[in-house]
Amino acid sequence: MALNTSNPKESGEISLKDLIENIKKTQRYLFRRWKIILAISFLGGIAGYGYAYLNKPLYIATTSFVLEDNDNSGGGGILSQLPGLASLTGSGAAGGMFQGDNIIELYKSRSMIQNALLSKVDYQGKEVMLINMYADINQLTERWKNNQDSRSLNFDDAKPLGRWQDSILQKAVDDINKKYLSVSKRDKKLAVIDVEVKATNEVFAKSFNNQIVKTVNDFYVKTKAKKAMQNFLILQHQTDSVRSVLNGAIYQSASVNDATPNLNPTRQILRAPALRYQYNADANKAILTQLIQNLELSKITLRKETPLLQILDEPIYPLEKHRMSRSLTAIGGGAVLGFLASLFLIVRKAFHRSLSS
């Protein structure tokens, strides 16, 4: 059997001893240039400190609320025992339309954020739209003034939104979704939802937080119970109509009886009008009794389908303020630039070595 007597260097393999030696050489090489690395690291530290100093603090407004949704409660109570009446009153009509977790997605939707931005709040002693506050914070007003069609950018007008306004709103919605708004559940097993808004302007952070919570929660409650409310209103209208007809039949029957106080027993035909109105009254009475039962069941359904949204905590002044740490940013900037400087020196040495070999 032939032995492998080839040199590791000739075969392109690097031994552990050579690897350790190369690391030591690299360390000595970087140590000889410590002044360069230190100077660049110092510049990185200054840059990091300056960035943290110029960076505006973020104000954090947080609203916490608990959502009690009856979709997953199971069973239908009294309505499950009366399937015919339950279907008539709309029991479970909204069961699959919204689930509790979907309210988080509503907060991220364009329409909800846009409606919140187009609402008016008190700012510096006057009512302004939140979109105008957003424009002032991000210094967009000056850009609008330079536009030749700047009059069409006035969001305070009652006129329909124009093309430029829609474009600005779309950009604002995207920016708020990425940088400003955060919605999450504290725990999968809990029904507590936190809505957090971060902004460099304290008033905007609190105002937008309050408005987006109000806009989304009102829409959620109304939509969740919309079908049950429609059925309730229909049954209420039917009940009122039948009650009105019943009252009329009773009145007409009494009027006919009053018109013939001394009825001749041999003239039964004279009883026909009174009997007809009496039959109408009895029939409408039976219908009204059934409608009233269904109406009460529809009220139960409406209460069942209406979710409970209870605010736990709201943002109050002064808001929590988050400022970037200047010392940590300076250390991080110095470390990053020092590492990049060391890497550059190593790569440059390797490049020169490859050219000389």
Residue 3 falls within a domain, yes or no? no
Side chain identity at 125, as an amino acid letter?
G
Residue of 350 and 340 predicted with greater confidence: 340
According to the model, what pLDDT value does residue 133 have?
85
For 270, how many CA atoms within 13 A lie in the half-sphere containing its CB?
12
Give the Cα separation of 263 and 278 in Å (integer).
Answer: 17
Residues 69/307, Cβ–Cβ less than 8 Å: yes
Give the Cα separation of 263 and 327 in Å (integer).
Answer: 108
Identify whether residues 50 and 140 lie together within a single domain: no
Give the Cα separation of 354 and 357 in Å (integer).
Answer: 5
Closest CA to 193 of 45, 319, 76, 62: 62
Grade residue 23 by pLDDT with cuts at 50, 70 and 90. Answer: confident
Identify whether residues 210 and 65 lie together within a single domain: yes
Length of the chain: 357
107, pLDDT greater than 70 = yes
Identify whether residues 173 and 81 lie together within a single domain: yes
| Rounded average pLDDT over 243-252 | 78
- H and E: helices and strands count for the chain: 12, 7
According to the model, what pLDDT value does residue 90 have?
45
How many Cβ atoms from other residues are within 10 Å of residue 87's Cβ? Answer: 13
Grade residue 72 by pLDDT with cuts at 50, 70 and 90. Answer: very low
Lowest mean pLDDT among 98-107, 114-123, 163-172: 98-107
According to the model, what pLDDT value does residue 94 have?
42
Grade residue 266 by pLDDT with cuts at 50, 70 and 90. Answer: low
Average pLDDT, the chain: 76
Identify whether residues 132 and 204 lie together within a single domain: yes
Give residue-wise pLDDT tens across range 126-168.
888 898 888 888 877 666 666 545 555 567 655 666 667 777 8
How many Cβ atoms from other residues are within 10 Å of residue 217's Cβ? Answer: 21
Residue 246 falls within a domain, yes or no? yes
Identify whether residues 41 and 180 lie together within a single domain: no
Supply the range of the domain harboring residue 279: 229-305
Residues 95/71, Cβ–Cβ less than 8 Å: yes
Give the count of domains, the chain. Answer: 3
According to the model, what pLDDT value does residue 181 have?
92
Give the Cα separation of 166 and 334 in Å (integer).
Answer: 44
| Rounded average pLDDT over 204-222 | 90
Identify whether residues 111 and 126 lie together within a single domain: yes
Lowest mean pLDDT among 61-70, 143-152, 204-213, 312-321: 143-152
Report long-range pairs for 4-8 (Cβ below 8 Å, ≥24 apart): none
Identify whether residues 253 and 273 lie together within a single domain: yes
Residues 208/139, Cβ–Cβ less than 8 Å: no
Exposure string for 222-256, b = 16+ CB within 10 A, e = fewer: eebbebbbebbeebeeebeebbebbeebbebbeeb
Q: Where are the beta strands (DSSP E) in the chain?
A: 58-68, 120-123, 126-129, 181-185, 192-199, 308-313, 320-322
Lowest mean pLDDT among 7-11, 73-77, 251-255: 73-77
Identify whether residues 212 and 83 lie together within a single domain: yes
Helix, strand and coil content of the chain, in percent to the nearest 5, comes to 65, 10, 25
26, pLDDT greater than 90 = no
Structure token digits, residue 224 = 């969740």
Lowest mean pLDDT among 132-141, 276-285, 289-298: 276-285
